């Protein structure tokens, strides 16, 4: 159970992404239009494949801690989040099972075995399906500039706000795609995940999400 | 009792000698430690790939270390980027800036603190030198207990905790120093406890 609790936190970290207007942004003009556009795009996603790069910023460091990998999603409840460099680390959600492959050592858990696990799983999938915009566990505010729509999520739950202060989701207008996610832990400690080479609705076999 | 002047003089000399010896021994005990912890005076970022194992439970991630005048600022980070622990190890206390609920228990924090103090070699900075031989240094730690740091070529290669009636001892190995003196491998082993910590210097 202790392992499960820890893994829940680790998992959440990879998908948690930030209420004053951030620098260079102003309040969004038409929130209903943005939400409708996002819901329409996300509703049409059957599969999604994307490369990502992750940079961890620490207040005590001059350089970032970098990693990169691939995200694969198949609606409604399959997800594979793989770090390929500089280490191999993989999180797979396949319906009711979650597996973590840490450099070849695999641990699998039944999502129904832990309430917290189910909660995290719901949060992850809600992030991808856009339902997180209606999640009452977050205070949501909307901003924009000429390049991005920005959704800022602030956890209202004490347990969650203890380790994440804000989640920023940057969406490209027109394409309605998430381009960048920024997980803010404190003023100078944050993680930025950039998504690239996004491919939508290409056939992806269910077997890709099998436990290794 | 009446003493002759000669006897009185001898007794006075013995007392003065004793006082002088005591003062000299005291000065010896407080002698400064020549060696510095490996992260001191290093300007570059210090990051270790980290594996912690306790029985069947394994955590892998990163340990970031920054030496500051007041102590050692450390981060324990998961591979997904989340900070599990942020703390500053000071002379007589540890300032816990962030700890996930899973770790935020007094017993777990005490165990983590003990290991962090050893692997950062903080006793070299904060401890009191008790004895120095050609093989190493015996240091009294501020938070209790003693540690013997074995040295080779003026670098610490191993540390072993000592303590009266302490059944569980910790051994920490510092191996393969790089050109800046940073150990490329650090390993902590426990006696009578199925646990170990392995660190490997990370090149980003």
Of A18-32, A53-67, B83-97, the poorest mean pLDDT is in: A18-32
Residue to mutate among B58, B61, B77, B82, with most A CBs inside 10 A, is B82
pLDDT at A78: 93
Tell me: do B90 and B142 sit in the same domain: yes
pLDDT at B23: 54
pLDDT at A12: 46
Cβ within 8 Å, pair B45-A63: yes
Tell me: do B50 and B141 sit in the same domain: yes
Indicate the pTM of the whole model.
Answer: 0.82
Tell me: do B26 and B38 sit in the same domain: no
Topology annotation, domain A2-206:
outer membrane lipoprotein receptor (LolB), chain A (2.50.20)
Tell me: do B41 and B9 sit in the same domain: no
Tell me: do B39 and B101 sit in the same domain: yes
Say which CATH number the domain at B92 has: 2.50.20
| A127 at interface of B, judged by CB pairs closer than 8 A | no
Q: Are the CB atoms for B142 and B127 separated by under 8 Å?
A: yes
Longest CA span, chain B: 83
Tens-binned pLDDT, residue by residue, of chain B (204 aa): 555 666 667 777 777 666 665 555 554 445 567 899 999 989 899 999 999 988 877 889 999 999 998 899 999 999 989 899 999 999 999 999 999 888 889 998 998 999 999 999 999 999 999 999 989 999 998 877 899 999 998 899 999 997 666 677 899 999 999 988 899 999 999 888 888 999 999 986
Tell me: do B145 and B51 sit in the same domain: yes
Peptide bond into A86 cis (omega under 30): yes
Count of domains for chain B = 2
Q: Which residues of A touch B84 (CB under 8 A)?
A: 9
Tell me: do B18 and B57 sit in the same domain: no
Phi-psi region of A54 (alpha: psi -120 to 50; beta: other; left: phi over 0): beta
Cβ within 8 Å, pair A9-B66: no
Chain A residue whose CA is closest to B53? A3
Between A58, A67, A83, which is nearest B64 by CB?
A: A58
> For chain A, what are the domain ranges?
2-206
Cβ within 8 Å, pair B102-A67: no
Number of H helices, E strands in chain B: 3, 12
C-alpha distance from B58 to closest chain A C-alpha (Å): 9
Instruction: Report how far apart, in Å, the C-alpha atoms of A109 and of each of A121, A122, B76, B78, B152 are.
Output: 12, 15, 24, 19, 47
User: How far apart (Å, rounded) are the C-alpha atoms in residues A149 and A138?
Assistant: 18
Strand extents, DSSP E, chain B: 46-54, 57-68, 71-78, 83-89, 94-99, 128-133, 136-140, 146-152, 155-162, 170-177, 183-190, 195-201
Tell me: do B69 and B155 sit in the same domain: yes
User: How far apart (Å, rounded) are the C-alpha atoms in residues B114 and B159?
Assistant: 13
Residue to mutate among A1, A15, A52, A61, with most B CBs inside 10 A, is A61
Distance from the Cα of residue B178 to its chain's centroid:
20
Tell me: do B101 and B52 sit in the same domain: yes
**Which tokens hold the place of A87?**
């280490």
Tell me: do B12 and B52 sit in the same domain: no
| A89 at interface of B, judged by CB pairs closer than 8 A | yes
Between A91, A103, A159, which is nearest B101 by CB?
A: A159
Residue to mutate among B81, B87, B96, with most A CBs inside 10 A, is B81
Tell me: do B21 and B122 sit in the same domain: no
* Confidence tier at A14 by pLDDT (50, 70, 90): very low
Between A2, A56, A105, which is nearest B81 by CB?
A: A56
Residues 6+ apart with CB under 8 A from A35: A133
Distance from the Cα of residue B32 to its chain's centroid:
15
> Which domain range does residue B23 map to?
1-30
Question: Mean pLDDT score of chain A, rounded to an integer?
Answer: 85
The sign of the CA dihedral B67, B69, B71, B74 is negative
Tell me: do B97 and B178 sit in the same domain: yes
Q: In this predicted model, what pLDDT tens digit does every residue of A94-129 receive, in sequence order?
A: 998 989 999 888 988 888 777 777 777 777 777 777
Residue A16 has pLDDT above 80, yes or no: no
Cβ within 8 Å, pair B204-A63: yes
Chain A residue whose CA is closest to B45? A61
């Amino acid at each position: 159970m202790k392992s499960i609790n820890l893994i829940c936190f680790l998992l959440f970290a990879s998908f948690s992404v930030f209420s004053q207007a951030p620098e260079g942004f102003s309040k969004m003009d038409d929130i209903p239009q943005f939400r409708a556009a996002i819901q329409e795009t996300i509703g049409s996603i059957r599969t999604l494949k994307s490369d990502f790069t992750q940079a961890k910023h620490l207040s005590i460091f001059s350089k970032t801690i970098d990693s990169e990998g691939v995200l694969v999603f198949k609606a409604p409840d399959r997800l594979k989040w793989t770090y390929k460099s500089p280490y191999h680390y993989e999180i797979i959600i396949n319906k009711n099972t979650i597996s973590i492959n840490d450099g070849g050592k695999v641990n699998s858990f039944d999502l129904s075995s832990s309430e917290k696990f189910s909660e995290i799983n719901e949060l992850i999938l809600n992030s991808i399906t856009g339902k997180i915009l209606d999640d009452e566990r977050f205070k949501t505010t909307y901003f924009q500039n000429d390049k991005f729509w920005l959704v800022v999520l602030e956890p209202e739950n004490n347990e969650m706000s203890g380790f994440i202060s804000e989640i920023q989701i940057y969406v490209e207008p027109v394409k309605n795609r998430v381009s960048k996610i920024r997980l803010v832990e404190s003023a100078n400690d944050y993680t930025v995940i950039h998504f690239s080479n996004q491919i939508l609705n290409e056939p992806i076999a269910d077997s890709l999400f099998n436990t290794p | 009792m009446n003493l002759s002047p000669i006897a009185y003089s001898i007794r006075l000399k013995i007392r003065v000698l004793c006082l002088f010896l005591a003062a000299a021994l005291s000065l010896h005990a407080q002698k400064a430690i020549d060696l510095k912890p490996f992260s001191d005076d290093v300007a570059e970022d210090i990051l270790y790939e980290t594996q912690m194992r306790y029985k069947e439970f394994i955590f892998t991630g990163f340990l970031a270390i920054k030496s500051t005048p007041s102590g050692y600022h450390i981060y324990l980070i998961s591979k997904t980027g989340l900070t599990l622990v942020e703390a500053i190890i000071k002379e007589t206390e540890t300032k816990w800036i962030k700890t996930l609920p899973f770790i935020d228990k007094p017993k777990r924090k005490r165990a983590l603190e003990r290991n962090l103090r050893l692997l950062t070699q903080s006793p070299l900075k904060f401890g009191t030198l008790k004895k120095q031989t050609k093989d190493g240094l015996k240091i009294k730690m501020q938070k209790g207990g003693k540690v013997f740091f074995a040295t080779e070529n003026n670098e610490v290669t191993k540390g072993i905790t000592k303590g009266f009636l302490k059944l569980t001892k910790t051994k920490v190995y510092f191996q393969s120093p790089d050109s800046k003196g940073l150990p490329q491998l650090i390993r902590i082993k426990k006696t009578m406890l199925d646990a170990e910590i392995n660190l490997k210097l990370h090149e980003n």
